[in-house]
Amino acid sequence: MPNSVFKNNVVIITGASSGIGEELALQLADQGAWLTLAARSEDKLETLASECRNRGGKALVVTADVASEDRCVKIIDETLEEYKRIDTLINNAGYGSAGHLHELPDLRELEKVMDVNFRGSVYCTYHALPHIIKTRGRIVGISSVLGKVAAWGGTAYCASKFAMAGFFDALRIEQHGSGVSVTMVYPGYVVTKFAGNVVKPDGEKMGEKGLRFYGKSMMSAEKAARIIIDAAAKRKREKVLSGLGKFAVFMNKLSPKLVDQIALKIQAERKRRTEGK
């Protein structure tokens, strides 16, 4: 794609080792992007980087946990050392947690969710922003429909995603006239390993129950990445990925009480299905 928006575009992707992040990397490599792939798993990143190079992109691997500001600085510094500039930052790293607030043994799990989902996005964006201003580039925040519509058992996760929405919406206003675009993305349920890695209050991962919990109404990671890349290329303000997600957001504005009632019924059914009853 010689005329692609992202050809030779320096793109940082956090949470790049699997799921949406991995698919974003592959599709951007197809367009000839110069990628920085950041996540905690070096082995997975190296495998992905090799595939990205085979597809015509460049790929730099940076092993980092975005919950640490120092590691986020490392992502930015190593990108600048390798490519000399930053054009696009995709804040994709995420951590899932499920459970009622009163079920948590303490607040450490809530803090971990906030550290990865919210503060990790803030750290990366803060340290990349001066360089993105120079290139009049793009910032993308990948949130969730649960960053617009709260859900049963999602106290910590929803808080982190609502916080992301507020942060990036404010940043968009601040950067008006600078040439920098801020695109917020709100995926619904996407087929990745994320659902199985959601952590319950007892510290165990949901595993296969996670996939049963979210059911069959899930978008493929390939389709989600394609929509996200298109929204970023066009510098869209925001993008809700699924029809169901758009309906939920619309209804939440029209009748929040009704959405609460529907959500409770849906969650009760999914809980029943998860527990095999």
Point out the residues that are catalytic: 157
Q: Distance between CA 115 and CA 122 in Å, rounded?
A: 10
Say if residues 139 and 132 touch (Cβ distance below 8 Å).
yes
Q: Distance between CA 178 and CA 180 in Å, rounded?
A: 5
The tokens for 140 are 């993308």
Strand 138-142 to strand 181-186: parallel, antiparallel, or no bridges (unpaired)?
Answer: parallel
Residue 253: burial class (beta carbons within 10 Å; 0-12, 13-18, 19+) = exposed
Q: Distance between CA 175 and CA 181 in Å, rounded?
A: 8
Q: Distance between CA 163 and CA 115 in Å, rounded?
A: 11
Say if residues 184 and 168 touch (Cβ distance below 8 Å).
yes
Phi first, then psi, for residue 234 (nearest 5°) are: -85, 5
